[in-house]
Structure 1
Amino acid sequence: MTKLSVNINKIATLRNARGGNMPNLLTVAKDVEGFGAQGITIHPRPDERHIRYRDAYNLKAVVTTEYNIEGNPIDDFTKMVLEIKPTQVTLVPDAIDAITSNAGWDTIKHNAYLKEMISEFKHNGIRTSIFVDPNLKMIEGAAETGTDRIELYTEAFAKQYSLGNKEAIQPYTECAILANKLNLGINAGHDLSLENIQFFKENIPNLLEVSIGHALICEALYEGLEKVISEYLKKLS
């Protein structure tokens, strides 16, 4: 079964809108796990507009499943991850002012830098993953960095799938086949939803984990968090 890691950034966005502690991020994380999710994902950004760095530390004491911290490995982010030691760190090349992640790493151009960062995280017992576009050259470059896994950036697939173009899965399948040959674990995330997750999973061999936040929280506004998580788990089984 592909594991479901729920990104709770949007819960923090809602909390921050009023300046208090409602909804309580830690309580939601515990509930998400109680509803069956196999992981919690956060993506703190330098301006702390949703997840705050302090949240990352506080969640360490609460999360009992896999804990995945995503972000650009700037100095503050790297220091935080090395102190918390989550299950996994996912490296994402976000610009400081990015609204959301919008591109994967150029694993050839930044190969030496990624090797250095990945070595540091792995030396501290943290599983590593690199956010990448569905490009065979980028998969080959990722393998050379020593990373444990890649996370396929799925926005292009999701957009085309919503337009009825199921052929958009092809580059992702090809990249997954290559990743398997190169002994890279495969994660995926960005714009995956109840509409497309089963089709995606069925066409990606050995998909280990999906990280889903925005769509899941939007769907939960209508269906309820427990029911939506249950539906994802069914589609991923």
Structure 2
Amino acid sequence: MNTRTSSCIKLQIHYEDHQRGLKSENYILYSSTDTIRDVIVKFLKTANLDYIDSGNVSLVELRMGNQRLPAPSFNTYATLDQLNIRQGYTLCFAPLRELSSSGLSRLRVYGPNLIDKIEYEWNKRTTTLQMLLEYIIKMFSLDSIERQRIHLFMDFEELDLTSNSEKLLTELGVTDLTMISVQIVSSLSSSVIHVECTSTNGTFLFDIPHTTTIEMLRKEVEQRFTDYCLCDFTLFD
């Protein structure tokens, strides 16, 4: 018979009720086999908030260091271990009424190859640009890519990941069913990229800035060689 082992983990619990002007933070020791419901009940008791119905409290966000991730869907009866929540995480909770009043929205995100597509559920009150970026990195397996090389575009306009990372998506004009595209620019280690184009009339070389995206490069090639049809597009170091 297999026996599930448990371990003790210390978590920071953050609860905020905007309507009541209530905010509470506590460090609490849990078992890895505790469910999110167990976490809520113990937190409310520890914070002397047990007058609040635990059924009206929902997990809305996970934080680990500088990373901020949306809470997994249907998490109430999942254990901390099942959700891969470890020591050092901060769990953010809010009343269900705030979630229902704000509503969940969806984004359509196209990967760097312009073929792979994912949908991202986000909350108008809590989801920031940084949270979206972290989700994209995870879903498209971009962990090995330098962060400054990852660029996000909304309707052909680039989202400023440097200045606006902590802004809510709604502050940046993102709405329900907005389409986001991901592009990877060349490494910053080289300021100029050499491009080679081959046609029936020979080989042509030209340079482009290292900040040029793949789509920008494709358009540049088509503009330079208007009498030709682009039939093959290969990238290499």
Report the structure, 1 or 2, having the larger strand content: 2
More contact order relative to length (CA 8 Å, sep ≥ 6):
1
| Largest Rg, 1 or 2 | 2
TM-score, normalised by the number of residues in structure 1 = 0.28
Report the structure, 1 or 2, having the larger helix content: 1
